[in-house]
Structure 1
Amino acid sequence: MNRMKSLVLSAALAASFTGQALASHIVVAIESSVRTLNPHNASITLDMSVAGAAYEGLFTFNNKMEVVPNLATGYKVSDDGKIYTINLNKGIKFHDGTDFNAAAVKYNFEHEIKHKLRRASLLSNVAEFNVLADDTLEVVLKEPSNNFINSITHPSQGMISPAALEKYGEDIQKNPVGTGRFVFDKWVRGSTVSFKANPDYWRGPVKVDGIEFRTVAEAGSQLAMLQSGQAQFIANVAPAMKKVIAANPKIENVQVPTIIGRWYSLNTKNEIFANEKVRHAMNYAFHKEAFAKVVYNGDAAPLKSPIPDNLETFAEQPAYTYNLDKARSLLKEAGYPNGFKAVLWAKNNTLSLRSAEFLQQQLAAIDVELEIIPRDTASHYAAGDTLKDDPSRPVIFDAGWSSSSGTADWALRPIYGTGGGSNYSLYSNDEIDSLLKEGQLVQDQAQKEKIYHQIQTLAWQDAPVIFTTVDYRTIGKSRKLSGIEFLPDGSISVGDVALVN
């Protein structure tokens, strides 16, 4: 609460010096369409970000990915590390007028687990939830955990009105009811998601009338909207457009270091990509430094491990240095001296298409012929979910991930763990699975680092993906806008939003 008082005071001081806040309607241009507004069942960060206009979690991350209280005021941990006692703010209401309390939190978490929603794995170590008082929840874990609070700080863990969950069932994904600054207004599929200011927000008056997330796939169109004032925030400035923004005194670039890793998942259940030599060949044939320079204009750096270098327990691995001769030799040893054909499933936004074309050209040098199949983002990930239904296909899948819990576990388990929710390689390694389980439980920091170093080494050596880059993200915004931030995990944080003169 001290942090919140500080933020409110800072906002008041800023308004007094820069001019009175302007009530208005904020537009955020996003490059992809939204799939769901149920954060518990969201598979991509964008969906959680948009839903986050209506929802709040018990805790949240600041722009350094540090955990800070939100709906909760704090927590205590038992000496054995298995019991967490979480204290909640009092007097908060959901948008439908029902009470936010410990019983509502218990209902949310148990509903997520019972219905096996996409993010329920974040709660897999929980044995039981106990309501001790209206403002106190006890969480009993199966095993001690070093990352439980980080797990429930993940942006998917927003609190939904239990009454709304009962009323809407699965349709809660298009009827969000939370405690946040904004109340859901309407969703035009593939186009816009709109919210109105919450007139009864528990932290005080909301300073804008509403916020709209508008899907605009083409980077040039996003820029035009920002320049004309039709949008106040764009979450991904194409590298070539930074100079245009810098020349306009009404808007600005803001560069954010991220923990967003990029790669191309190789379907390891297909007979071609099941061969480790093929996977290594493709990594040696991909010039990561050139990719970062040409496609990202320097707004990215080659991955040096399966996780970004600014994430906990990072361990640098031996580089797959660009080497066409070695790549060709490995393909020959694997039984493909004349290359092969495969399909590349890609997103249809500007940057993803440029990336896909770069990969296509790179692999052509070793006689690997790629057919690019672009889809809008929602359809792209929906297609990815079907890979397990017909795993024989020679599919390369445009993928990426950020650890939105800020932990190495969440950077690795969904991608390299058997059955992981974003394991589009259909990769399975028993040793990695065992180490992932051990890594969640160990309390000693040195032992934890050793375990996650091992996992990184194993995943790097197996190479179920073509490792590419880690992002440096540049966002574009109106100089009048405050309260919206782009966080290192790739999420858009909608805070105390305001427009000022």
Structure 2
Amino acid sequence: MRNGSPSMRHLSVAAGLAALFMMSATVPALAASNVVLAIGGQPETLDPYNTNTTLTTAVTKSFYQGLFEFDKDLKVRPVLAESYTVSADGLVYTFKLRKGVRFHDGTDFNAEAVKVNLERVLNPENKLARFNQFNRIDKVEVVSPFSVRVTLKEPFSPFVNSLAHASAAIISPAALAKYGSRDIAFHPVGTGPFVFEEWRQTDFVKGKKFDGYWRAGYPKVDGITWKPVLENNTRAAMLQTGEADFGYPLPYEQASSLEASDKLNVETGPSIITRYVSFNMLQKPFDDLRVRQAINYAINKEALAKVAFGGFAAPAEGVVPQGVLFAHKMDPWPYDPAKARALLTEAGYPNGFESVLWSAYTTTTAQKTIQFLQQQLAQVGIKVQIQALEPGQRTEWIQSAPDPKTAKVRMYYAGWSSSTGEADWALRPLLSTEAWPPKLNNTAYYSNEAVDGFIASALKSVKDEEKADLYRRAQEQIMKDAPWAPLVTEKNLYATAKRLSGVYVMPDGNIDAGEIAVSE
């Protein structure tokens, strides 16, 4: 949320927004039904505070809500909060909460529930993945049953954006007490439109309609099933046979045939999802800038966009994609294999070297991507073994690696979207020194004191012009240091059954099904 005057500022819910959330109870429900959403991977947890994957938080949004959320354009809107004020120094936020909301277990949502959840993620003993998203909070105080005050240790300009992130869900304190901070991952209890029914980790996550949902007239379906389908073509086939009502992502090469179906609506949209390869800079030969530069020159990003993404992508224009606030647009690395070979020779590798390239995903598109990268690198003498990691392997080998010096990762194909809509969450979790695993996702083990300083200063700044300059300087320095090979920014491609409405893919790749409905 951008800062305004130096006095107290107040965000009120506009009449139109209030109408969006408080639908008349007389709105007729559509025909009873269960909806199947086919997705490209498996959620590794149902605890939104303990994941860094967008797909997982898409699933957990069926059961949970936060104080705020993002709309389809990544604009912040209130949900369990009605309004807020912030002090002139940017340290104290006071939230007025929505009344008449209940958790799935029948207990009331109130200020104490907000306090319990924020204090849980702030407790380092819980070792939750989202700790660094909230660790600038100093204290949380209950002002009244429906008013809560949060005091920060220092100004943190994206704070409300962080609260709008799907990870900032409000879990029933009674459920936390019953299941504990770890086992709540298997027993989600929130205020969302669906009550958790069952999770078979490789097969599905099911929810049923919450009859006590605070939004009158919603949800408009009896149940929702999230079905992991790793193979792109299978996901597409399920849409065509009616086994699934929604599918994302889709095989890009099948876009035209899916569009020809009279049963489906095919949608494409802009995204802020950047795909990249990180290099473990603590290990040879990736500690040498010339090697990292050589790999960037060795990859034809235009060809990659066509081969693996069917043209539904474009070469990355920097480390933060356009569409993210304070993204700085830069020219993609040019394709120059001769330059790559010269740099390798200069670095002492005239015949190239051998290494390992891991992928964070097992999808068909990811397999195509790492195979393409393997072929491209081989042309300049770099021979890489490729492996697509299963979720458990990714967690153990990447996210939980306890000692940076012995981490086994070398080259790592992954993707990221700044799901708070601001450059902070595109840079700090991936490229700051504090973000080395297991804390966050700096799989390059990149560390630059100047970049850390730019990011820290931008977080404290209340002036957009100053923030833009700081983030620009950070991004330019990162490109010079080349801890990554930025590859492409892809487009979102998904399809829905024509009977389905109220489901869409957001620019960050999250899925919003809050107003899901069907017509028979």
Between the aligned partners of 1:234 and 1:174, the Cα distance in structure 2 is 24
Q: Displacement of 1:316 after TM fit?
A: 2.2
Between the aligned partners of 2:67 and 2:462, the Cα distance in structure 1 is 23
Which residue of structure 1 aligns with residue 376 of structure 2? 362
Between the aligned partners of 2:96 and 2:482, the Cα distance in structure 1 is 43
Between the aligned partners of 2:332 and 2:508, the Cα distance in structure 1 is 24
Which residue of structure 2 aligns with residue 80 of structure 1? 89
Which residue of structure 2 aligns with residue 353 of structure 1? 367
Aligned pairs for 1:472-491 (under 5 A) are: 472-491=491-510
Which residue of structure 2 aligns with residue 53 of structure 1? 62
Residue 308 of structure 1 is aligned with which of 317, 321, 325? 321
Q: Which amino acid aligns with 1:496?
A: E
Contact 1:271/1:392 (<8 A) preserved: no
Contact 1:23/1:498 (<8 A) preserved: no
Residue 80 of structure 2 is aligned with which of 66, 71, 79? 71
Contact 2:25/2:216 (<8 A) preserved: no
Between the aligned partners of 1:386 and 1:287, the Cα distance in structure 2 is 32
Q: Displacement of 1:228 after TM fit?
A: 1.1
Which residue of structure 2 aligns with residue 333 of structure 1? 346
Describe the shift of the 1:8–1:21 C-alpha distance in structure 2 as closer, same or farther (beyond 3 A). Answer: farther
Describe the shift of the 1:260–1:381 C-alpha distance in structure 2 as closer, same or farther (beyond 3 A). Answer: farther
* 2:217 matches 1:208: no
Contact 2:432/2:446 (<8 A) preserved: yes
Describe the shift of the 1:250–1:12 C-alpha distance in structure 2 as closer, same or farther (beyond 3 A). Answer: farther
Q: Which amino acid aligns with 2:374?
A: Q
Residue 187 of structure 2 is aligned with which of 175, 179, 182? 175
Contact 1:264/1:468 (<8 A) preserved: yes
Which residue of structure 1 aligns with residue 34 of structure 2? 25
Describe the shift of the 1:382–1:494 C-alpha distance in structure 2 as closer, same or farther (beyond 3 A). Answer: farther
String of CA shifts for 1:165-194, please: whole Å, max 9, x gaps.
Answer: 111110001110100000111111111111
Which residue of structure 2 aligns with residue 99 of structure 1? 108
Q: Displacement of 1:11 after TM fit?
A: 12
Which residue of structure 1 aligns with residue 8 of structure 2? none
Which residue of structure 2 aligns with residue 404 of structure 1? 419
Describe the shift of the 1:75–1:35 C-alpha distance in structure 2 as closer, same or farther (beyond 3 A). Answer: same
Aligned pairs for 1:230-245 (under 5 A) are: 230-245=243-258
Q: TM-score, normalised by structure 2?
A: 0.92
Q: Displacement of 1:498 after TM fit?
A: 0.7
Q: Displacement of 1:436 after TM fit?
A: 1.2
Residue 198 of structure 2 is aligned with which of 186, 210, 215? 186
Q: Displacement of 1:278 after TM fit?
A: 0.4
Describe the shift of the 1:329–1:10 C-alpha distance in structure 2 as closer, same or farther (beyond 3 A). Answer: farther
String of CA shifts for 1:272-319, please: whole Å, max 9, x gaps.
Answer: 111111000000001111111221111111111110022112222343
Residue 131 of structure 2 is aligned with which of 90, 104, 120? 120
What root-mean-square deviation, in Å, do the aligned CA atoms of Structure 1 and Structure 2 show? 1.8
Give the match's secondary structure for 2:270: strand
Give the match's secondary structure for 1:496: coil
Q: Displacement of 1:456 after TM fit?
A: 0.3
Identity %: 38
String of CA shifts for 1:135-194, please: whole Å, max 9, x gaps.
Answer: 111111122232110011111001101111111110001110100000111111111111
Q: Which amino acid aligns with 1:249?
A: D
Q: Displacement of 1:226 after TM fit?
A: 0.6
Aligned pairs for 1:196-345 (under 5 A) are: 196-205=208-217, 206-345=219-358
Give the match's secondary structure for 2:434: coil
Contact 1:269/1:391 (<8 A) preserved: no
Which residue of structure 2 aligns with residue 422 of structure 1? 441
Q: Which amino acid aligns with 2:113?
A: A
Between the aligned partners of 1:330 and 1:474, the Cα distance in structure 2 is 38
Residue 386 of structure 2 is aligned with which of 342, 348, 372? 372
The count of aligned residue pairs is 496
Q: TM-score, normalised by structure 1?
A: 0.96
Contact 2:326/2:471 (<8 A) preserved: yes
* 2:462 matches 1:443: yes
* 2:170 matches 1:159: yes
Give the match's secondary structure for 1:397: strand
Which residue of structure 2 aligns with residue 434 of structure 1? 453
Q: Which runs of no fewer than 5 residues in structure 2 stay unpaired?
A: 1-12
Which residue of structure 1 aligns with residue 160 of structure 2? 149
